[in-house]
Amino acid sequence: MSELTPSAVKGGAHSPARHDSAAGHVTGRALFLDDVANAPGTLHAALVLSPHAHARIRRIDAGRALAAPGVAAVVTAEDVPGRNDIGPILKGEPALAAGVAEYVGHPVAAVAADTLERALAAAALVDVEYEPLPAILRLEEAIAAGALVSPAQVIERGEVAIALGYAPMRLAGDVRCGGQDHFYLEGQIALAVPGEDRDIAVTSSTQHPTEVQHGVARLLGLPLNAVTVEVRRMGGAFGGKESQATIVAGIAALLAWKTHRPVKLRLRRDDDMRATGKRHPFLIRYDVGFDEDGSLLGLDMTLVANAGNVADLSPAVLTRALCHADNCYYLPNVRLRGLACKTNTVSNTAFRGFGGPQGMFAIEAVVEAVARHLRVPTELVRRRNFYGIGRNDMTPYGMTVEDNIIERVVEELEGGVDLPRWRAEVETFNRTSAVIKKGLATMPVKFGISFNLPTLNQAGALVHVYTDGSVHLNHGGTEMGQGLFVKVAQVVAEAFQIDLEHVRVSATSTGKVPNTSATAASSGSDLNGMAALNAAEQIRGRMAQVAAAHFAVPATEIVFSDNRVFAGNKSLSFAELAELCWRRRVSLSATGYYRTPKINWDFKTNTGRPFYYFSYGAAACEVAIDTLTGELRVLRAELVQDCGRSLNPAIDKGQVEGAFVQGMGWLTTEELWWDEDGRLRTHGPSTYKIPGSRDVPRVFNTRLLADAPNREQTIFRSKAIGEPPLMLAIAVWLAIRDAVASLADHRLLPKLDAPATPERILAAVDDIQARFAALPAEAR
């Protein structure tokens, strides 16, 4: 194998290279699916959505719709030629409601017409007769009814009941965190084009082209090789286009199959929010035993997720939540129970963090409760319970934490911001301010990297070198704005030691790289970067042999560097060597493959090593609340994030900042609200509030942990970055609770769920003031 020298090229690994589509994004030249000119004869589709949370479908009469101008077809579940099932994990999840509609917004039928306006008008003409049925709309109702979409899950270690019984102190409580809409800038969209001999090509805004391929093939009764799915870029996804995109692509493909014409289905924002899943809301109930030092002796905790109407990805989300309910803490005696409850609301799905945020939210609520009870800083309780090195290092699911750097990360954060001084300034302010109260809190994060299902931890790539020295790269990862394409291109540029501008990445396609996993679980760079490196190294090895023969030296003396290939003082340009390889009839194309080592998981016992490694981070946040209105401002955020040896510091820093703000939205402003009939009332930007520019902290500092290469053999010792920073935003929620607690001299635990909207903050203020006033004078 030839030698790879330290990078001397422009845009190689570890450099802050610009996002490959940055200029296109800001100028509008980057084309998204709806920007591409329609082929002649293309039809536009619209959905018919159920107005009922739960109803039997008695009859569907499409006569008036079919008679409307420009209408080419109407399809229902009865028109599916294959199997009406797009479940990603469990069976029985139809693309179009079959016999029963199970939530308001459930697709019941679809219309194709020559314009979108005509399709929408015709959809309103489809006459559906419903028989309303009793609906389960609240988690408490689902728990009482025993309504689950999948079996309960348990992770358990030690003697929980005994530990709780003997604990010197014990607390029980509950807390809730809400869901979150993905609110991607580009909504769900797909274009299906029928070909000859039953082939069909689908362009989809999806994180998981292979799952779309499988779903379309299943619906149409086709083999997988008859369905090709492609995606060049998405305008955001955040997990919402992992499984949900299959619904849209499948219906578009069904209409294309029926009409023998291209069909585009693009959901309007209101319909997108009604019809597609969101982050899972959770109800957490805990019983914790501890001692006077704050050591957690026993914990019995139940995490109840609102799965919605079908399982979708809920079983996996719940598993990951349970695997992160320890966060950074060693729990010697613990029972973690997970319930995925069935309700007549839209099926919830993947969202950045995939259950991890809810699991960490749960344990941080417990740690805060213990600290408030002991009247000590939360940071002290955390340190008492942090995982150790060589001791107290086994997770509840049986994985040894081998790469523990949480102490270092927390020390860098606290030392960098002078936390004691900062806290003293907040307390001084609160003593002199009657109405505005400030809060300060920190948040440590330990986030596991890999899919919990070991099978998914694999990737493929395809690399071509052309005779002019330019390189074509294709891999199974998808680009949704996160910078995956430029990172993997940097890996290939680094391998060949050529400037990044010579590497071109093409659209992800099931026809080029088959059997791919979703671009999810923060593993895009880990998996696809390694697969691309494997392909590039194969080609580089062949090129080195040709160079060695040309220069009459051993292949071990061939050095690739600075766009050239050297043998001592002699050299060829990379392009010249590529031309020479072609003349010598040496292949300049290779497929690469990678599978993550070391991981395993036993679904029967919920034990194993589900993660290749952990990513660490820490945050400190200051907030201010108005105790008369509940208004909130996040004043300052200080973040430290572990990226290993960053592949691209500019991209990674942007991911940290974006994830934090998105997490802040989940915990503060983004409230999903259903009425008593199961209708989502927050289904657009006028009623659903994502963070805006004025919500971003005025002081917002992000540092990537320096000199901390990944201990595992990841791509150039980097670490995943997409999801871990989102959980740093839990510091904001804790800081709000700290501000509320200041009204009771920090003696009482605030009653404040998430999202901490002004209404909830005001209610928490009123509650804690009333409880504090009711205390005996000597207890205040």
Residues designated as active site: 723
Question: Residues 6 or more apart from 509 whose CB is under 8 A from it?
Answer: 209, 228, 229, 230, 474
Q: How many CB atoms lie within 10 A of CB 208?
A: 28
Distance of alpha carbon 192 from alpha carbon 200, whole angstroms: 7
Rounded CA separation 662/207 (Å) = 19
Q: Which residues pair with 299 in a beta bridge?
A: 288, 334
Cβ-Cβ contacts under 8 Å for 17 (sequence gap 6 or more):
11, 486, 490, 500, 648, 650, 651
Alpha helices, DSSP H only, in 598-703? 649-668
Give the whole-angstrom CA distance, residue 131 versus residue 347.
Answer: 21
Q: Residue 520 carries which side chain, given as an amino acid letter?
A: A
CA of 538: how far to CAs of 547, 590, 717, in Å?
Answer: 14, 7, 20
User: What are φ and ψ of residue 228, in 5° steps?
Assistant: -115, 130
Strands in 349-480 per DSSP E: 436-449, 458-465, 471-475
Burial class of residue 260, CB neighbours in 10 A (0-12, 13-18, 19+): exposed
Q: How far is CA 161 from CA 167, 284, 335, 400, in A?
A: 10, 19, 9, 24
- Amino acid identity, residue 195? G
**Separation CA 63–CA 109 (nearest Å):** 13
Q: How far is CA 200 from CA 227, 251, 266, 341, 609, in A?
A: 5, 13, 18, 37, 40
Q: Give the C-alpha separation, 639 to 412, whole Å.
A: 10
Closest CA to 454 of 611, 248, 270, 288: 611
Give the pairing type, strands 613-626 and 436-449: antiparallel
Q: Which amino acid is at 665?
A: G
Name the one residue in this structure whose structure tokens are 């931890």.
457
DSSP code, position 37: P
Bridge partners (DSSP) of residue 566 are: 559, 571
Q: Helix (H, G, I), strand (E, B), or coil: what is residue 575?
A: helix
Token look-up 């501000």 returns: 739
Distance from C-alpha of 300 to C-alpha of 694, rounded to nearest angstrom: 40
Write out the two tokens for 152: 């309960």
Question: Position of tokens 């299943």?
Answer: 218
According to DSSP, the β-strands at 334-342 and 296-308 are parallel
422 burial class (0-12, 13-18, 19+ CB within 10 angstroms)?
middle
Q: Is the peptide bond before 758 cis (omega within 30 degrees of 0)?
A: no
CB 676: neighbour CB atoms within 10 A?
9
The kind and range of the H/E element at 762 are: helix 758-774
User: How many angstroms separate the CA atoms of 469 and 585, rounded?
Assistant: 16
